[in-house]
Structure 1
Amino acid sequence: MTLRALLLAAACGLAAPAFAQEPAPPAAQAPAQPVRNEAGTRLHRLFAESDEASLRRNPLQAMFRGDYRYADRLGDFGSDAYFDAERAAAQADLAALRQIDRNALTATDRLAYDVFEYNRQDTLEDLTPEMLALTAVRPLNHFSGFHTFYPVFASGRSAAPFRNVQDYDNNVARHRQFVAAVDRAIMRFRQGLASGVVETQLTIRNVIGQLDTQLAIAPDQSPYAGPLANFPEAVPEAERARLRIELVAVIRDGIYPSYRRLREFLQNEYLPRAREGHGLVHMRGGDRLYARRVRDNTTLNMTPQQVHDIGLSEVARIRGEMDAIRTRVNFTGTLAQFFEHLRTDRQFEPASREWMRERYYAIGRQVDARIGRFFSTLPRTRLEIREVEAFRERNEAGGSYQDGTPDGTRPGIFYYNAYDLPSRRTYGMETLYLHEGAPGHHFQISLANENAELPNFMRFGGNTAFVEGWALYAETLWDELGMETDPYQRFGGLNDEMLRAMRLVVDTGIHAQGWTRDRAIEYMLANSGMSRTEVVAEVERYIAIPGQALAYKIGQMTILRLRAEAEQALGNRFDLRDFHAQVLMSGSLPMPVLERKIRDWIATRRAA
């Protein structure tokens, strides 16, 4: 799971880790611009103008790229003016795009044309009045909310810069805008109460708990005060006292009171009228929204029932492979008893949080030793390994990734979750690293970000099916990378694949078929070795962000199918390094566009 994607979506509606052994290389110079014909020149001018306008409207996205021109702004996300501006921009972009002759473009530019068109049409679908009536009025929940995004962002350990006095002053300016954003969220929630489109009681209770956790921390000890711990040398001593006073004041007198207003509103007014049913099937207009979420997250025209059936088939297949592991380790009980053994036997518990950290470092070194054999290009961006912060660990996934900056000034970060340590299982660690770190999210996102030959919307944009599909595909490279040689680690790989297969069943079950939370939990416990703590967090995630969990397995199956097609068509001319380059080096592509690209590559290789 990529942290930036969730953080930005929410905002808009350690030592010696792998790839960190050497100092980051200097930022690469922008490549010489290729010679283009008139159509290509117009196309790339459109891309550049659209991207620049988007950064002005979305300053958070700029900061995640390392562009701080608009760093005094948070943006007016969630407002009518914001939605109107985004809609107008998408309409103008599409109108300009259709004035360009696609047939006059090079093959590479036709690919960019198709992705740009897909993205802008996708944006418009989410900004129709009918869709906003179902989404804008539910501005946050426990898994996707700026109330948990913003303290990480502003902590001095994320994308917000703290290099000089101006950066600290910008931070205070953003805090004041954040207070307005919290009040705007309350206003949106009130609109939902009036229209009958409301969040679930479960998600709102979780949000209240998150707010309580933050409010229990003294303002000057909160993540917001993190930048005060280590002033850079560029901040003069004479300014530090002023900056300390101003920052603590805005936290104490602005952010904390806004949190209290939000908490009081949710507890006293909203929660009594929130819906009991967990799935969108129980929400007014929920069936229409879920159908949209399925298409949005898979980039394919699939129905919830089709997705559900694929999930059932994959669950059955993976259970068979798990049962083979049970036999291999001479466990004489049933598969269900084997699952319970894996959940409860203390030999599979991490010894300590420190042990987990050191084990992830060791896994990273093992992967580094072999990965160059299967990838023609490695990321320049360093990868760090960090533990999820205590204030947000309870509701976070077992692992996540936050991308770095293309110039290497901020590394990519693989976060692992040590909450409820005895529930974390050691047999899942290798596959988690392959997914979140290398060659999963870190490779896919960093290689796109670092490729200055791509237009920015392809470097920094993406869709969940590709991003998460690639990360799940990366887990299947365990054999090539010399991982999961122990049968229990191989079970961990199957357990993680089972999770993604179960998601197809459970997400559609909850949101299209009316499954309860308890039914979803029991289904996942019956078909995997996951702990109850892990399963509860997963199910509550699906309730909070419908459809997102479908992308993993659908994306992975698409990439695996395309690899099999290429292997069969090319025979001994198939080169895995070349295949990976074809998939990765054009940024995140919608599945239909990726299919066309790989089939064109196959045809070219066969004709050579």
Structure 2
Amino acid sequence: MNHACRLILSAALVALVPAGGSAQPAGPAASRQSAHDRLFDLFRQSDEAYLKRNPLQALFRGDYRYADRLGDLFSDAHYQGEKAAAEADLAALHALPRAELGADDQIAYDVFEYQTRDTLRGLQPDLLRLNEALPMNHFYGLHTQYPTISSGQGGAPFQTVADYENALKRNRDFAANVDEAIAQWRKGEAEGVVDTQLTVRNMIEQLDNQLKLKPEESPYWGPIKAFPNAVGVADRARLTQAFRASLTGTVYPALSRLRDFLKNDYLGHARAGAGLMYMKGGDALYRYEVESTTTLPMTPEQIHQLGLSEVARITTEFEKVRQQMGFKGSLQQFFDYMRSSPKFQPKTRQELEQGFASVKRQVEAQVPQYFSLVPRTQLVIRPYPPYREKFEAGGSYDAGTPDGRRPGTFYYNAYDLPSRSICEETTLFLHEGEPGHHFQISLAQEDAALPSFMRFGGNTAYVEGWALYSESLGYAMNLYNDPCQRFGNLNDEMLRAMRLVVDTGIHAKGWTRDQAIRYMLTNSGESQTDATAEVERYIAIPSQATAYKVGQLTITRLREKAKAALGAKFDIREFHAQVLGSGALPLTILEAKIDRWIAAKKVS
């Protein structure tokens, strides 16, 4: 079962801009402040400047000061502004005396430095020209995310007349950003830097699916169908007319321009080879992205070999489950049986949702045994909207707001029910919900003592590594005693191991789409639907999928290191509090923190 976390929906910025601001140089007054105060002043100034430049990120946090705009997401000026801000931030940081900071502040200093350096590397001319040329794809794209934002069930509020007026203004920004994205694609065409034919065709299909809906049937109409009491009768009539005019005159024409450009122009120039190695400059971009997403100095070849080793290990565990279930055929026949038998397929969408709700109850009953830190933010379970489900992962998580007004949401995919498996309900919920993404993201957001870039930012290796690690806690919780659920967990772990092989295979070794799909079907019980969606995801967002296993293996190794060093002093709840208590850390910084904790516990 494939799944994904959607922390930051402005996908063009995910890899490039985790933070960034425009800090003022320290003057005489600043020099009289403590090192802590100067550091956090820098963080505040940087974050406030970042939100002004990227108001969409404020919207996702529940900060509605800039809710009347989406910002400038794709222009050359935007990227140069981010580069200048990051350079100013780094200079201001290095003017501060790190040695005078406490241990927690040093962690914050180190994370800020790491992220800002990584941002700057992605904004250097050799990589920026490549990233600019790929503004959207079928997995991360404003064209699919904006409808959710605007639906009344996404990040944008619809509680007052002003909220509705802001939505109309955002629609204009949406159209402007679509045109800017088209301009970047055109520039890439001229420079020979183009996306894959597969990704472009998928985007065209996504746009066709939206455009065939009448405005009144679209997600954009959701707020009109559910006016709050605060909006009076006269305003409802006026806003209904204004929304219809905005959709027919601004949003739909922008979607049509994008579809027509991709179909009639860009597709003819798109590249046939799936991997970045077939794109001009793609080898360098992939090496950077591997290091950026794993937060470790690993090469594509190292990632590939690690994946092969993990695939071999997990295969032996599959054999044990095959025997436990009494299946007499080969392992490949066992995979075919598990992916095709109606016994393991949900009959209805309701059955699928009820299964996840049951796992939620079981997990929450055991949380106190493993966690001293538990988020206040609630978690809800919802299916993907029909217009999105075909191209989505098997599940994903959207963060709530720090004040709890919007809960965290675990989305599950009910598209093509025979391709779904009830065996994967436990492992999927542990990853996307509790104690996976929901715990980690919510705890960080709720910790007001953390600087904003640590509350709301992160890196894939930590975020996804924690979620994959969380799946393994199902063994201690006795949630995998049923061999069906154990198979589901192994299938998901195998998925992450295969990702190391397949992602690097596609982008560094020239694997084809079909070759990658065959590899996944041969080595796991993944359905054809899931394997196809997975491979097309790796093609669209290179390297992102490699970070899961790297992060999980690191966290598991650190736990075993702590257990060996502390013996009877080891407390799993304390370990989890250490891992979760500082937001999403680059893995080298996380290991240094755990080492300090181990040393302190030894002498306590």
Verify same fold: TM over 0.5.
yes
Aligned ranges 1:37-48 → 2 under 5 Å: 38-48=34-44
Q: Does 1:548 align with 2:544?
A: yes
Counterpart pick for 2:571 among 553, 562, 575? 575
In structure 2, the partner of 1:498 is 494
Q: Which residue of 1 aligns with 2:331?
A: 335
Q: Which amino acid aligns with 2:44?
A: A
1:285 counterpart residue number: 281
User: Which residue number corresponds to residue 79 of structure 1?
Assistant: 75
CA distance in 2, matches of 1:89, 1:549: 29
List aligned pairs for 1:370-519, cutoff 5 A: 370-519=366-515
Q: Residue 178 of structure 2 aligns with which residue?
A: 182
Asked if the contact 2:430/2:436 (under 8 Å) is kept, the reply is yes
State the alpha-carbon separation in 1 of the partners of residues 45 and 98 from structure 2.
19
Which residue in the other structure is 2:215 paired with? 219
Cα contact 2:11–2:136 (8 A) shared by 1 = no
Distance 1:605 1:243 in 2: 61
Match of 1:7 in 2: 9
SS of aligned partner of 1:413: strand
Q: Structure 2-normalised TM-score?
A: 0.96
Report if the CA contact (8 A) 1:11-1:146 is conserved.
no
1:562 partnered with 2:558: yes
Question: Secondary structure of 1:121's partner?
Answer: helix
Separation in structure 1 between the aligned mates of residue 164 and residue 128 of structure 2, nearest angstrom:
35
Q: Residue 481 of structure 1: CA displacement?
A: 2.2
Deviation at 1:579? 0.1
> Amino acid of the residue matched to residue 176 of structure 1?
R
- Whether the 8 Å CA contact 1:63–1:71 is kept in 2: the answer is yes
* Partners of 1:2 and 1:402 within 8 A in 2: no
Alignment partners' CA distance in 1, 2:131 and 2:244: 34
Displacement, 1:141? 1.0
AA at the equivalent of 1:386? R
Decide whether the 8 Å contact of 1:393 with 1:417 is kept in 2.
yes
Q: Provide the rounded CA distance (Å) in 2 between the counterparts of 1:186 and 1:47.
A: 34
Corresponding residue SS for 2:386: coil
Is the aligned partner of 1:250 residue 2:246?
Answer: yes
Question: Which residue of structure 2 lines up, in the alignment, with residue 322 of structure 1?
Answer: 318
Indicate conservation of the 8 Å contact 1:402/1:414, yes or no: yes
Displacement, 1:5?
3.0
| Paired letter, 1:207 | M
Kept in 2, the 8 Å contact 1:12–1:78? The answer is no
Structure 2 counterpart of 1:531: 527
Q: 2:589 aligns with which of 593, 596, 606?
A: 593
1:353 matches 2:355: no
Q: Is the 8 A contact 1:10 1:149 kept in 2?
A: no
Contact 1:400 1:436 in 2 (8 A): yes
2:571 and 2:5 map into 1 onto residues whose CA distance is 32
User: Runs of 5+ in structure 1 lacking a partner?
Assistant: 14-35
Provide the C-alpha distance between the structure 2 equivalents of 1:86 and 1:269, rounded to a whole number of angstroms. 30
The equivalent of 1:112 in structure 2 is 108
Partner Cα distance (1:78, 1:416) in 2: 30
The alignment partner of 2:382 has SS state of strand
Rounded to whole Å, the distance in 2 between the matches of 1:137 and 1:6 is 20
CA-CA distance at 1:221 after TM superposition: 1.4
Moved more, 76-85 or 147-156: 76-85
1:60-111 CA distance string (max 9 Å, x none): 1111111100111110011112111111111111111111110011011111
1:276 and 2:260 aligned: no
Equivalent-residue separation in structure 1 for 2:338 and 2:14 (angstroms): 40
SS of the residue 1:395 aligns to = coil
Q: Contact conserved, 1:115 with 1:593, CA < 8 A, in 2?
A: yes
* Other structure's SS at 2:6 match: helix
1:171 paired with 2:167, answer yes
Kept after mapping to 1: 8 A contact 2:5/2:437? no
Structure 1 residue identity aligned to 2:442: S
Cα drift, residue 480 of structure 1: 2.2
- Mapped to 1, the partners of 2:226 and 2:344 lie a distance apart of 38
Q: 2: CA distance between counterparts of 1:232 and 1:191?
A: 44
Q: 1:8, CA displacement in angstroms? A: 2.2
Tell me the CA shift for residue 541 of structure 1: 0.2
Does the Cα contact within 8 Å between 2:379 and 2:409 map onto a contact in 1?
yes
Change in 2 beyond 3 A, CA 1:518/1:6: farther
Letter in 2 for 1:134: L
Code of the aligned partner of 1:431: T
The one-letter amino acid of 1:519's match is Q
TM-score (norm 1): 0.95
- 1:61 matched to 2:57? The reply is yes
Matched, 1:302 2:298: yes
User: Which amino acid letter does the alignment assign opposite residue 491 of structure 2?
Assistant: N
Give the whole-Å Cα distance in 1 for the aligned partners of 2:591 and 2:328: 44
Distance 2:144 2:166 in 1: 20
| In structure 2, distance between residues paired with 1:469 and 1:556 | 4
What percent of counterpart residues are identical? 58
Look up the match of 1:33. Answer: none
Give the aligned residue type for 2:224.
L
What root-mean-square deviation, in Å, do the aligned CA atoms of Structure 1 and Structure 2 show? Answer: 1.1
C-alpha contact 2:491 2:526 (8 A) present in aligned 1: yes
| 1:482 shift after superposition | 2.6
- What SS is found at the alignment partner of 1:134? helix
Paired letter, 1:468: E
Superposition pairs for residues 132-151 of structure 1, below 5 Å? 132-151=128-147
> Which is further off, 271-280 or 256-265?
256-265
The letter for the 1-side match of 2:409 is I
Equivalent in 301, 307, 314 of residue 311 of structure 1 = 307
Amino acid at match of 2:390: R
**Cα distance in 2 between the residues matched to 1:107 and 1:293:** 30
Moved more, 4-13 or 292-301: 4-13
SS at match of 2:230: coil
**1:257 is aligned with what amino acid?**
P
Picking from 594, 601, 605, the partner of 2:601 is 605
Alignment match of 2:580 (pick from 580, 584, 587): 584
Separation in 1, partners of 2:491, 2:342 = 18
Give the number of equivalent residue pairs: 586
State the SS of the aligned residue for 1:7. coil
Residue ranges of structure 2 left out of the alignment (5+ in a row)? 16-31
Which secondary structure does the structure 2 equivalent of 1:529 belong to? coil
- The structural deviation recorded for 1:118 is 0.6
Is contact 1:381-1:406 (8 Å) kept? yes
Structure 1 position 155 matched with structure 2 position 151? yes
How much does 1:128 deviate? 1.1
Give the counterpart letter for 1:247 in structure 2.
F
Q: Does 1:362 align with 2:358?
A: yes
Q: Distance in 2 between matches of 1:578 and 1:505?
A: 34
1:196 pairs with 2:192: yes
1:91 aligns with 2:83: no
Amino acid at match of 1:403: A
Taking the aligned partners of 2:538 and 2:245, their CA distance within structure 1 comes to: 37
